Amino acid sequence: MDGKRKESIKAWFDAVVHEGERGRGHELHIDQIDESWEPKPTWMSAALESFDIARGIRGDHQCDTQFTVVVALFLSEDSFPLGRTFHNRLEMEMALSDIPPALFLWPTGDEFWVRVEASKNNIGCSKVEALDARDFFGEKYKMFKCIFLEHIWGGREEYLRAVYLAG
């Protein structure tokens, strides 16, 4: 099964890199990688596994641009800013929305949260908060960037909330 997951992620990775779709909404949701990852109770472990596989593929990939691999865990939305409503992994899992986690590739230094932070006033950003990845994903992820982001934009009426693990 792991070989099929890697093949699926590699095909996505290649398409993003070669077609220039990175950072343009070209995400790969975990349920697209493996149908067994459709049930919500699998999402956290599936998100981490797909993140690890994608980072391995990036390490093997030859291209001129440096990329940050990101897995986004989408949280419940609301019509007003809620801020961070979780303090540990279990609480984060309880706050997940019905949208499965997704992988993204961003050119290093031009990641989504960098753009959001730079244009806060234009998109109604409520909060960008750095988190300690170990608190939610374990010691293995201590060196990775972990960010909670809450924002509203594009004429939407609800604040989008997500946790991003990047490396």
* pLDDT number for residue 89: 96
Band (pLDDT 50/70/90 cuts) for residue 157 is confident
Q: Does residue 25 carry a pLDDT above 60?
A: no
Looking at residues 144-161, what average pLDDT do you find?
84
* pLDDT number for residue 166: 95
Q: How far apart are CA 91 and CA 88, in angstroms?
A: 5
Is there a contact between 53 and 9 (Cβ–Cβ < 8 Å)? yes
C-alpha torsion sign, points 74, 41, 134, 30: negative
